[in-house]
Amino acid sequence: MFNHSIPQIEDILTKAVNSKPITRQQAISLYKPSLLHTVGKVADEISNRLHNKRAFYVINRHINPTNICVNRCKFCAYSRSKGDADAFELTIDEILQKLRSTEVDFKEVHIVGGLHPDWGLREYLDIVRSVRQSFPDVAIKAYSAVEIDYISRVSNKDIRYVLMSLKDAGLSMLPGGGAEIFNPEVRQRLCPEKISGDRWLEIMETAHLLGIPSNATMLYGHIENLDDRIEHMVKIRELQEKTGGFQAFIPLAYHPKNTEVGGKHTSGVDDLLTIAISRIVLQNIPHIKAYWIMLGEKIAQTALLFGADDLDGTIIEEKITHSAGAQTRESISEEALKRLIQKTGKIPTKRDGFYNNI
């Protein structure tokens, strides 16, 4: 069907386009620059079948309540220790002030930050509750599984209790951060203090069973290999088989500046192959997000023709990737997002936090 000169590749792509799950080894064999066009075409076909040529964006706003963190992940340029000159923690009033002074009519607020040594369930809950009281109709996407685990440990409550308390306070969904790469050896070298991949999956499974949807991420382009990437995707695919709770998968391109891991930026070819292969491997997850903050506007736009169907949103203020040297702007207008999408031939579709069309 694709007239590919290698029969095995032809077989894998035919399987993929017919929505059949491909194996780990088959996925790895697609990870070749020479296959970028073919693999991208198949991923685009899958995306069009799922979304009818629509590409989504959201008017959203990020809030990072603190950069003080008891962990010290070696790829993180954002975190600080308490007492550092540039450490910060926002008060509830400051958070609400940031939200109230936001000029756009945002539909989603994304709240993530560090593991603050003096905060417990009450502090993390108060943030969600106050935002919910002031913004009753906005989707609150808050706290990665890493923060959920931390809150549970410092407050001596199980994760079900923490998640239910947050949901009662107004939480809508969990963001997909903290997944990094599940492989234990790579994880040990990258972020020895962080929860394991199995714990990340357990927290997501619990959230999904409690009716809290989430996203999933994968941080790529540091010290991992292709096998680690595919193993990561397959574990997410397997959990999705059980719960159906993941809304979007977001490959996060590693940024090396100011980090202990160091290294290089990812290449455009790697970014596009990773988007395309994730679309092919994760056919049971509805959306693949091309996060323009990390990919840059041009690669994120091109990714919409390689399997991605969502550019994320206006963001307004971004600290995590910009601490690690991101060259993108921190905020983008709705008009600019729509234009990026229109130029690909896809249909710009404004969504809320749950991917309902607005």
Q: Identify which of 206, 184, 205 has the alpha carbon closest to the alpha carbon of residue 195.
A: 184
Q: Which is nearer to ligand V47, 211 or 262 (CB)?
A: 262
In the complex, the smallest distance separating the C-beta of residue 1 from ligand V47, rounded to whole angstroms, is 34
Instruction: Provide the residue count of the chain.
Output: 358
In the complex, which residues of this chain contact ligand SF4 (CB under 6 A)? 69, 71-73, 76, 78-79, 114-115, 146, 191, 194
Q: Which is nearer to ligand V47, 95 or 290 (CB)?
A: 290
- Residue nearest to ligand V47 according to CB distances in the complex: 177
Q: Which is nearer to ligand V47, 159 or 294 (CB)?
A: 294
Give me the phi and psi of 217, to 5 degrees please.
Answer: -120, 170
What does the block give as tokens for 269?
């070819």
Q: Which does 22 bind (CB under 5 to 8 A by kind): ligand SF4, ligand V47, none?
A: none
Q: Which is nearer to ligand SF4, 56 or 291 (CB)?
A: 291
In the complex, the smallest distance separating the C-beta of residue 256 from ligand V47, rounded to whole angstroms, is 7
In the complex, the smallest distance separating the C-beta of residue 29 from ligand V47, rounded to whole angstroms, is 27
Q: Which is nearer to ligand V47, 150 or 254 (CB)?
A: 254
Q: Which does 217 bind (CB under 5 to 8 A by kind): ligand SF4, ligand V47, none?
A: ligand V47
Q: Which does 254 bind (CB under 5 to 8 A by kind): ligand SF4, ligand V47, none?
A: ligand V47
89 class by beta-carbon count within 10 Å (0-12 exposed, 13-18 middle, 19+ buried): middle
In the complex, the smallest distance separating the C-beta of residue 252 from ligand V47, rounded to whole angstroms, is 5
Q: Which does 42 bind (CB under 5 to 8 A by kind): ligand V47, ligand SF4, none?
A: none
| Distance separating alpha carbons of residues 177 and 109, to the nearest angstrom | 15
User: Where does 6-158 have alpha helices with state H?
Assistant: 7-17, 24-30, 36-51, 92-100, 121-134, 145-155
What does the block give as tokens for 115?
């593991």
In the complex, the smallest distance separating the C-beta of residue 221 from ligand SF4, rounded to whole angstroms, is 15
| Distance separating alpha carbons of residues 42 and 26, to the nearest angstrom | 14
Q: Identify which of 166, 169, 159, 173 has the alpha carbon closest to the alpha carbon of residue 206.
A: 159
The helix (run of H) or strand (run of E) holding residue 217 is strand 214-220
In the complex, which residues of this chain contact ligand V47 (CB under 6 A)? 75-77, 144, 175-178, 180, 215, 217, 219, 250, 252, 254-255, 259, 291, 294, 312, 320-321, 324
What does the block give as tokens for 336?
């600019």
In the complex, the smallest distance separating the C-beta of residue 176 from ligand V47, rounded to whole angstroms, is 4
| 3-state DSSP assignment of residue 69 | coil
User: Where does the chain have alpha helices with state H?
Assistant: 7-17, 24-30, 36-51, 92-100, 121-134, 145-155, 159-169, 184-190, 197-209, 226-243, 268-281, 292-295, 297-303, 320-323, 334-342
In the complex, the smallest distance separating the C-beta of residue 8 from ligand V47, rounded to whole angstroms, is 33
Q: Which does 69 bind (CB under 5 to 8 A by kind): ligand SF4, ligand V47, none?
A: ligand SF4
Q: Which is nearer to ligand V47, 44 or 180 (CB)?
A: 180
Q: Which is nearer to ligand SF4, 63 or 69 (CB)?
A: 69
| 3-state DSSP assignment of residue 28 | helix
In the complex, the smallest distance separating the C-beta of residue 282 from ligand V47, rounded to whole angstroms, is 14
Give me the phi and psi of 131, to 5 degrees please.
Answer: -65, -40
Q: Which does 79 bind (CB under 5 to 8 A by kind): ligand SF4, ligand V47, none?
A: ligand SF4
| Distance separating alpha carbons of residues 60 and 214, to the nearest angstrom | 16
Q: Which does 170 bind (CB under 5 to 8 A by kind): ligand V47, ligand SF4, none?
A: none
Q: Which is nearer to ligand SF4, 78 or 254 (CB)?
A: 78
Name residue, tokens 């890493």: 146
Q: Which is nearer to ligand V47, 127 or 326 (CB)?
A: 326
Distance of CA 331 to the CA centre of its chain: 17
Q: Which does 321 bind (CB under 5 to 8 A by kind): ligand V47, ligand SF4, none?
A: ligand V47
